[in-house]
Amino acid sequence: MLHRDDILKLVSGRHPSPESILGCHQHGGSSWVIRVFEPGASEITVSWPETDLRLSMQRLHEEGLFTVDVEQLPAGPYRLAIRYTDGHERERFDSYCFGAEIGELDIYLFTTGNHHHIYRKLGAHPIQRDGVSGTRFAVWAPTAQRVSIVGDFNLWDGRRHIMRRVANSGIWELFVPDVAPGAIYKYEIRSFDDKVFLKTDPYAFQMELRPDTGSIVCELDGYDWQDSEWMQQRAASNPMRQPINIYEVHPGSWRLGENGFLDWVQLTRELVPYVTEMGYTHIELMGLAEHPLDRSWGYQVTGYYAANARHGSPHQLMAFIDACHAAGIGVIMDWVPAHFPKDDFALARFDGTYLYEHADPRQGEHREWGTKIFNYGRNEVRNFLVSNALFWLERYHIDGIRVDAVASMLYLDYSRDEGEWLPNRFGGRENLEAIDFLRQLNKTLFQYYPGILSIAEESTAFPGVTQPPEQGGLGFNFKWNMGWMNDTLRYMSMDPLYRKHHSSLVTFAMLYAWSENFILPISHDE
């Protein structure tokens, strides 16, 4: 028998573990009970596709809680035929007759910060379970009272698909039958302090075009890559012994089409031949991940795993990169692990607590940019970021990353006055957790993808940026020489009459040119 308290919590969307009530449960030896909660239903019949058995369910609560006893339970998932009080009907499989898929090894690796492909587990994944097509959803929200999947497929009602907790991992998971690629969804979260709000999926592979902020169920598989020879040659190459000439591109402003932004098909036709003709070896793409503001460089990322929707579909982006490789051009992603925006639909206070960021603003807020700073000391946050870089390398065949704003990661007092920052455990200004994260990042990237570029945009004299981690370095293979760029631009901006008095501006960089593996940039920053 169900306790009245459990029923009231369930129908109000406050039950912490609905799977303990809903679905199929054994009771009394060989008999079973099936319970379904479907708000607005007047009748429900349960059946099994491979049998003739059909059972009418009994209403337990007027909000839509139904039950039925089954003496001999047929094998396989069961289907629900539902009639609603307004007269319309629908059929669906029950999410709660499918068990969890995320296992103990996944949990261990994720909570220790070492699940390199966690994006294969978290997020939305179209799959088949026991012959039933649908989407498996999973999200990390450890302090939430409840997490639900909401979308057009369930009338955005957070009571209909409440997710199940996976052990004590902080992960919530649920398989929703019949939800196909293209479905728009969000997570409805009830926080520890009883507030209810919507969040986009941190691991979503696709998002709606701004100003809409929904996540989209996306099937990344299916693109037929033609760059196997390129990928094999890259893996066997040493970038240190090859010429590199990079064209930095912001696709949203490089050229505009009749309808605004060029899509990846148009950029393939126009940008790739231009870069080839100009003699560049690589394209560095800015604003590749989803971000809300058109008039920006894309550094306030709200969808780390979602390609910028302004330029087309994920498969169109794959085709663009494939075309670059066919033309002998490498593709570098401008990647932003230093900070993230405060937009209330994205990562900030994701489960109602400071989950991805530090709680103390002296550590967790970048006042100059008005953004949040990642908590690199939290295993799951490091895992999110390392896995993200691997994701772009694996799924989109990116040839490298340029890591933005590394200096802001390395120093706890970056852009802060006295009293506005907290020292590390030794009393110093170095962000030890960020240093460990960068070392882990680069070791992992080169372990999976030798031959790629990992470039630091680092504006200070922090030592060993391009030295291996085992030698005390950060593990990048290149660093932007910001000093050379600033000195050169300052020199060129002078009246030619006076340049002869400032020749040191163009020679000073030679004093430290061999201290790191430098790339000489003339970039958008200036």
Instruction: Give per-residue pLDDT as tens, 173-206.
Output: 999 999 999 999 999 999 999 999 999 999 999 9
Asked whether the beta carbons of 177 and 93 are under 8 A apart, the reply is yes
| Mean confidence (pLDDT) of the chain | 94
Q: How confident is the model at residue 378 (pLDDT cuts 50, 70, 90)?
A: very high
pLDDT at 434: 98
Instruction: Give yes or no: residues 81 and 165 share one domain.
Output: no
Instruction: Give yes or no: residues 84 and 172 share one domain.
Output: no
Indicate whether 494 belongs to any domain: no
Beta bridge partner(s), residue 140: 171
Indicate whether 254 belongs to any domain: yes
Distance CA 408, CA 339 (A): 9
Is 470 exposed, middle or buried (CB count within 10 Å of its CB: 0-12, 13-18, 19+)? exposed
pLDDT at 208: 97
pTM for the complete prediction?
0.94
Instruction: Give yes or no: residues 371 and 410 share one domain.
Output: yes
Indicate whether 508 belongs to any domain: no
**Which tens digit of pLDDT belongs to each residue from 22-63?**
999 988 777 899 999 999 999 999 999 889 899 999 999 999
Distance CA 368, CA 362 (A): 12
Alpha-helical (H) ranges within 340-451 are: 361-364, 379-395, 406-410, 432-448
**Which tens digit of pLDDT belongs to each residue from 441-468?**
999 999 999 999 999 999 999 999 999 9
Indicate whether 150 belongs to any domain: yes
- The tokens describing 81, both together, are 């035929």
Instruction: Give yes or no: residues 185 and 269 share one domain.
Output: no
Distance CA 21, CA 154 (A): 20
Nearest CA to 27 out of 64, 2, 60, 56 is that of 2
Distance CA 214, CA 151 (A): 9
Instruction: Give yes or no: residues 392 and 410 share one domain.
Output: yes
Q: Other C-beta atoms within 10 Å of 202: how many?
A: 26
Instruction: Give yes or no: residues 417 and 355 share one domain.
Output: yes
**Which tens digit of pLDDT belongs to each residue from 509-522?**
888 989 999 999 99
Mean pLDDT of 313-327: 98
Q: How confident is the model at residue 257 (pLDDT cuts 50, 70, 90)?
A: confident
| Greater pLDDT, 523 or 362 | 362
DSSP 526: -
pLDDT at 376: 97
Distance CA 456, CA 481 (A): 9
Mean pLDDT of 504-512: 90
Asked whether the beta carbons of 290 and 201 are under 8 A apart, the reply is no
| Greater pLDDT, 113 or 486 | 113
Instruction: Give yes or no: residues 402 and 362 share one domain.
Output: yes
Instruction: Give yes or no: residues 353 and 400 share one domain.
Output: yes
pLDDT at 526: 66
Instruction: Give yes or no: residues 182 and 235 share one domain.
Output: no
Domain span at 202: 104-216
- The tokens describing 98, both together, are 């499918």
Indicate whether 57 belongs to any domain: yes
pLDDT at 36: 95
pLDDT at 256: 85
Q: Which domain CATH number covers 277?
A: 3.20.20.80
Number of domains within the chain: 3
Q: How confident is the model at residue 260 (pLDDT cuts 50, 70, 90)?
A: confident
**Which tens digit of pLDDT belongs to each residue from 269-312?**
999 999 999 999 999 999 999 999 888 888 999 999 999 999 99
Indicate the residue among 70, 94, 118 that finishes a domain: 94
Indicate the residue among 72, 94, 116 that finishes a domain: 94
Indicate whether 492 belongs to any domain: no
Indicate whether 273 belongs to any domain: yes
Residues serving a catalytic function are 404, 457
Instruction: Give yes or no: residues 297 and 357 share one domain.
Output: yes
**Which tens digit of pLDDT belongs to each residue from 419-442?**
999 999 999 999 999 999 999 999
Distance CA 265, CA 286 (A): 17
pLDDT at 50: 83
pLDDT at 72: 84
Q: Please determine, for residue 313, whether its predicted confidence score (pLDDT) is greater than 90.
A: yes
Distance CA 35, CA 15 (A): 15
Q: Please determine, for residue 66, whether its predicted confidence score (pLDDT) is greater than 90.
A: yes
Query: Whose structure tokens read 């997570």?
Result: 187
Distance CA 456, CA 103 (A): 36
Distance CA 180, CA 129 (A): 13
Indicate whether 500 belongs to any domain: no
Asked whether the beta carbons of 424 and 363 are under 8 A apart, the reply is no
Mean pLDDT of 346-369: 95
CA Rg, the chain, in Å?
27
**Which tens digit of pLDDT belongs to each residue from 126-157?**
999 999 999 999 999 999 999 999 999 999 99
Q: Residue 453: in which H helix or E strand, if any?
A: strand 453-456
Distance CA 390, CA 93 (A): 35
Indicate the residue among 216, 245, 262 that finishes a domain: 216
Q: Which domain CATH number covers 129?
A: 2.60.40.10
Which range of 45-59, 64-78, 88-102, 343-357 scores highest in mean pLDDT? It is: 343-357
Instruction: Give yes or no: residues 85 and 112 share one domain.
Output: no
Instruction: Give yes or no: residues 372 and 291 share one domain.
Output: yes
